[in-house]
Structures are given as C-alpha cells and as structure tokens.
Structure 1
C-alpha cells in the first residue's frame, strides 16, 4: 500500500497548484473488466473546461485495501472524492455505501 500511496500523493502534489477560483477533486473508478481501481485528479478553473488527469492504477483489487488507501489519502489531502462503478458496494469496515446512485455518464 505504501508504494501506491506514495505514487498517488506525489502526483497529486504535482498537479495541485492551489490556483484561485479553481476546483480540485479526486475521482476513483472501479474498472470491472481489468479488475483495477483508477485514480484521477479533476481540475476545473472557473468558467473553463474540466481537466481530468490520470494519477495511478491500483492493481490490488480488494475493497479492504482501497478503503485503507483512501483513508490515508484523505488524512493528507482533504479533497472531495467522486466514485464511479461502485453502485451497491459497501466499505468493508464502515459498512457505508460507496456510491449511492449511478451518475448520468455511467
């Protein structure tokens, strides 16, 4: 987990420039076909298009591992996180739904 965490955090710090009037948030996508989790940082300056930048692909396809990784990332960075492809799944430790409903582009 430490290598995935270090890679993701180093890439977040590379793209998180704290510009004025800019929205930053993370997106985690469950890739059912490759059985991986893909991390993206989405950057949207005011009155401009959103840029989605891939950060890392986590190949350890276990929800327990993903939950620990997300917890470590949110300790360091307090971004909003959007989940795609997790409809109906629950976090193993917290037993909360990960994604309540499908997004319109899913």
Structure 2
C-alpha cells in the first residue's frame, strides 16, 4: 500500500498481509520524502517490472497520474 501523507508531504509504503480469520497486519517499509507524483509514477513503473504484487493507494482520491492522466484512486477507502 502507498499512502499519501499530505501533512508531512511524503509517500509512505506499507506491506499489508492478512491470513484467514486474522486481523490485517501492516508493516511500514519506507517513507518517500521526494513528494513528486512524476517521480512516484516513474518509481512504480520500475517497481512493477520487478514485483508482481497488488498496490493499493490511499489518500490519492481524485488525483491523476501526470503522464497518463488516469485516476490514481477512484473512491475513498475506510482508512482515509
């Protein structure tokens, strides 16, 4: 999961996992201090070539990727 922290102007990366009948476990992995959507889009493009995990976005409601103009996150999730 990548969370947009507008207060600190950082992107926070978490690894979320959940086993059947257990609570969600969220492990913070990294904080990206370069608060630029162009750089984040470039990083994710490279990352997706390496890993095959689903990436969920939180805090990006209504925002669009600079290059493709696709919505990053369509609707708010319960974590927002």
TM tier, smaller:
over 0.9
* Partner of residue 60, structure 2: 86
Q: Distance in 1 between matches of 2:21 and 2:14?
A: 21
The residue correspondences of 1:69-80 to structure 2 (distance < 5 A) are 69-80=43-54
2:75 is paired with a residue whose SS is coil
Computing the radius of gyration from Cα coordinates, the structure with the larger value is: 1
TM-score (norm 2): 0.94
> What is the CA deviation profile of residues 33-67 of structure 1, one whole-angstrom value per residue up to 9, with x for unaligned ones?
00000000001122222110000000000000000
Q: Distance in 1 between matches of 2:78 and 2:29?
A: 23
The residue correspondences of 1:1-106 to structure 2 (distance < 5 A) are 27-106=1-80
Give the root-mean-square deviation of aligned CA atoms: 0.9
TM-score (norm 1): 0.72
Richer in helix (by share): 1
Q: Distance in 2 between matches of 1:45 and 1:39?
A: 20
What residue ranges of structure 2 are gaps of 5+ in the alignment? none
Ranges of 4+ aligned residues in structure 1 off by more than 4 Å: none
Q: Distance in 2 between matches of 1:56 and 1:81?
A: 14
